[in-house]
Structure 1
Amino acid sequence: MALVVSKLLLFSFSLLVGIAVAQQNKSDIINKGSRLSPSTHPNSWPSPSSYFAFGFYPQSNGFAVGIWLVRQPENIVVWTANRDDSPVSANSTLELTIGGKLLLRTEQGQERLIANVSDPIDSATMLDSGNFVLYGSNSSVVWQSFDFPTDTLLGGQNLSNDYKLVSSMSNSDHSSGRFLLAMQRDGNLVAYPVNSSVESDDAYWSFLLPNSFYDAQLSLDYKGQLYLNDGSSTGQRNRLVNSTHPTEKEIVIYRATLDADGIFRLYSHHFENSSTASTMSTKWVGLQDQCEVKGFCNFNSYCSSSGSKGDCNCYPGFDWINQSEKSLGCTLNFSEDVCRKDLKIYYNITAMENTWWADFPFSVVSMTREDCTRSCQEDCNCGAVLYEGEKCQKYKLPLRYGKRNMSATAFFKVIMGSSASHGGPEIATEGKKSLILILAISSGSIACVCFALAVSSFFFYCHQVHSYRKISENGNLGLSEEFALRSFSYSELEKATNGFQEELGRGSFGAVYRGTLQEGGKNIAVKRLERVVEEGEREFRAEMTAIGRTHHRNLVQLLGFCVEGCRKLLVYEYLNNGSLADVLFKAEVRPVWRERFRIALDVARGILYLHEECEVQIIHCNIKPQNILIDDSWTAKISDFGLAKLLQPSQVSTDEGVSEIGGYLAPESQRNTLISVKADIYSYGVVLLEIICCRSNIKIDVPPDEIILSGWVNNCFAAGELDKLVEDEDVDFKTLERMVKVGLWCTQDDPTLRPCMKDVVLMLEGTMEVPVPPVGKDL
């Protein structure tokens, strides 16, 4: 009994004095040479009270390194190191090396720093507060986990300005999720979706100080009081939560967590005696309704509330991108690449009452409900409409932050013959009553002529069968080229290219040759794939079929392919004007400003289609001027999309090296992290700056401060000297400033600061305001 009481007293005292206890208790010090492994004992370093532990915990199909609250029946992870790295195997080790580094060594021999410190580490300790601390040679703290929160604050921990909590993907996956809580420089605590511009329009929860204070911080004390300290000399506290004090017989640990659903909550864990069995309760919730969280349901889906729980559904005309992972959102269940002249016949308009979403309309006009639906039906850019108070607001796709139980009525374009309902609320089709009336009248007439139609149909069928047999005997239906990829033989392509004589260029996947098809004399470009992953013919055909389904005016069209053993070739449309690199860097006369702006917008729209609008999301991984081609009408088209997965690992490294030399590779691509669409956005930002200045990203024969294009553009922007970028040219300086700001946003080192591709297009078009990028500010 005396031992239990002493442990309780020790834990309580450590919560009050923090680091000092660990420094005094030498038995809890982790010395150099100490090692952990998931498969052997020890796999963690516990705190003195054993309520917290640091080490390996299971995640996905492997293990991650982090800190967890030890409790029954399930531990609760409160911090993760390098949270977006892939899990490691059971044969990995974590060691505080003799050289003074905290290193994670994977089974493949890779080394990852857990704490990036300049001074050698002498020792470490896991404190009872949940803080993991590293000490230097003079026992000074050189690093602590409390300074780098992930999704949780513990008692005694602060969140200072310019720091943020980022939610986890789920309760079992602690990689970076979809929401962030930022302690802003104006002293306000605000929650946003991660993939947003982090502007006031994107905020879904905030706690505002009455005045602006630069040094404000969010704090959670050991008694469970959650408050904002305004940083003033008086130290005024603005409380979010006041918790009750625990009794003397129990130990209470508090944690404030931005949960995977985007809601900030305060939890308490009550421990009795020294057991890890505890009771958990929710002391405070920032939002009561999950549907209040912007981005809880992703693009093209809406949230409907059931109590405090939110349920996501697709809008009419949309299907889940992945039924088993609804957080990815929805996509159109029909193709909308071509603006048809017969839009009123091709599309139907479906209405959905009490619906609303938060986005920027490209058109707001007062008109009647009927005129509003007709206007969208005839507008190629209109994907959906919100109608409220006789105002017709037209929107482009994708739609975000959708909610039900609002006052507006939404209208959607749905292709004729498609199902308008997807398991959501009942929806009504405009003109449905008229259609029923017409069908009722028509049915009587149809009944009268049924017999005549049956007889004539029989004879017509016989005629068609006869005609089909004749065509089949010729062995060419004549439709495959228009509607499907054509499968070529190697000998056909060898003859078309005259033995692969005229080489147009060479890239990541092999050489490209010019050719002419025998039938019709159509010019083609033939890419002979080299050093690609060896896979079966069926798998290769499946990959090509998937790429062949992507059709957009700003993508180079794949016409067909050849696969004969190890020979793999792709057949593309031929574009006369070469690549963007030729146009920008080699042509005697640079393209005029208006043409360059149109090319920049074409490339952005092509990437937007790959990221958000095609059937399966495609990350290009190699956006650069050499992979952007120009056709006869000076339309820019992106090539080599969807092929990154075909490269062998060694070739991937080689290609990334080339991209890195050119400066197109995003910084996170060099850190062995998971690549996202933000890598393409970085590459596009570099290309955009090259289009603006008509020079390559790296140029040697210039003054030292102009060698790296992005740095030079940043300096010119900060100094208000954008005219240096386009000397002796007739340009629209308002458009120039907008393009420069977009380019600087896209090339931010932090992927979370880069805008999504839809916002890039809107900003370039001038329909969305472009904020001043951080690099242009006096920080």
Structure 2
Amino acid sequence: MKGFLRGLICLILFSSISGAAAVDTIVPGKSIKIGETLVSSKGSFELGFFRSSRGLYLGIWYKKPATHTAVWVANRENPLSDGEGVLVLDSKGTLALLNSTKDVIWASNTSRSAENPVAQLLESGNLVVQDEKNYNEEDYLWQSFDYPSDSLLPGMKLGKNLKTGFDRFLSSWRSADDPAPGIYSVRIDTRGFPQVVIEKGSKIRGRAGPWNGIGFAGRPAKPNSITSAQYVLNDEEVYYRYEPEDSSVKIRMVVNSSGVFQIFVWKNGIHDWELLMMPPPDICHNYALCGKFASCNVNRSPVCSCLEGYLPKSLVDWNLGNWSGGCIRDTPSECEKDAFLKQTWLKWPDTSNSTVNMTMNLRECEQTCLTNCYCTAYTNADVRDGGSGCLLWFGDLIDIQVLTPGGQDLYIRLAPSDMGLKKRHLRNDYMNDGEKEDMELRMFDLEIIASATDNFSINNKLGQGGFGPVYKGTLLDEEQDIAVKRLSRSSGQGLQEFKNEVILIAKLQHRNLVKLLGCCIEGDEKMLIYEYMPNKSLDYFIFERSKLLDWNRRVNIIGGIARGLLYLHQDSRLRIIHRDLKAANVLLDSEMNPKISDFGMARSFCGEQTEANTNKVVGT
């Protein structure tokens, strides 16, 4: 972590006080001067003076490991410019940093006094002022943990006292070697259901979201498996803090000068801090990028789309890539006649205009939302053990993101006439007037497919085609292997190919055509579910395992392909030309029987038609 040395290697001044053994406390009448330090009892942290490009600062840094990574700075806005300074503790228990003329540059805002005050640097990195006879944490006169800089250490609270308004939040450094407060901060926003936000100035730049019982809803994956988190929300306060599972592991969380929240762990092997986690640097983490009633998906092109039952407020702006205007309802609300459509795998909307009731179940939550015409969505506030509590949104739904996998459920209010949109998705959105024939096709839940493919693990990826990636999966309840073709967001052709395959192959049944088991359409996910072919494709055997193709197998494969083509060209109820028949699109089952696949480029003929210009595909 070279960037986080922050210039501390430039004239870091540290030594034991007056050459004596290191101490961790100061009392009235004693002081810490330049060149002197406090060291915590086991030597993990050190307090003293360090120099940056703007002057001299009083701070706390790691002594072990000795990288001089500052985690707290007292006089962030007022450096000692004359190169002289001293830290003193007065008889009432107030810490003060004085310059060469004895002017107070910084002081602790101790509101209480003690008979025998002492300042101590704890092994946690917390500088505390307490009564010498009372070491109870609840009775600290003052502590540095209440006034974080850019770092959240284990045991430190991030949150707010709801009675007094006292706020503990992180603020970035202005630059890598300037500890003055920067423009970025991380705090818990207590408007509505409390949520963690990253602010730039006074405006929200990004959200980690509210606590959902497991983690923050906008960061569904646990940051690591070596910390345990504590989240408290009651009438008195709301806060988050964490501890390492292994007390020997050193972890710190930081908001850097660019506004990026990062988690670091110390690696003894490299003697440096290793970046353990940071948010993906994608466009969807920009707050409210898609406007109201829209969702953002980094795997989709364009990344923004309106929620089910909503249309762009300005189609012209939307098509130009200006999504800030958001979306509006397709059908006006009918208040208590409305219903709710379940959307999955989402980052919950901004909760600043929400309310929560932890005693309600989901059914009660729905009824409460339904009877309030201004309620636009609801869900369980706690996702553990099947869900509990009630979280209600009122007004605009903002900053929704598709998180696949790892997102949460959201029940969005729609007019009754719009409730069938999802069920009619295939017919309405993918077929023209001449193709609105209902099809018997199984619809799979996204959760089932994600589980079957181990969340679309790279280890389960079978290949990549023009349509998109193909994954192997297993439907555990049915003990059936499947192949999942997932629509690519980066290919404009992908949607057309999806439409083609659904329209054509769902109507085809032949032993030499790959069988379509169903499809999955949820939110922005569109997938086709096929029977799994364990022997891969014909090109694999032709080019890599040709010796395994004896004469009988070759004849069987050729005959099977011919029978499949005859069915397509003559015997099926649709007369179809494949247009992309090649060895890679002939799959082989466990008995080496061939099955034609990939109908994304296919075209159907009408009636007795025997020739046509094949530049046009179905639906265009």
Per the normalisation by structure 2, the TM-score is: 0.37
Per the normalisation by structure 1, the TM-score is: 0.30
Asked which structure has the greater RCO (Cα within 8 Å, sep 6+), the reply is 2
More helix by share: 1
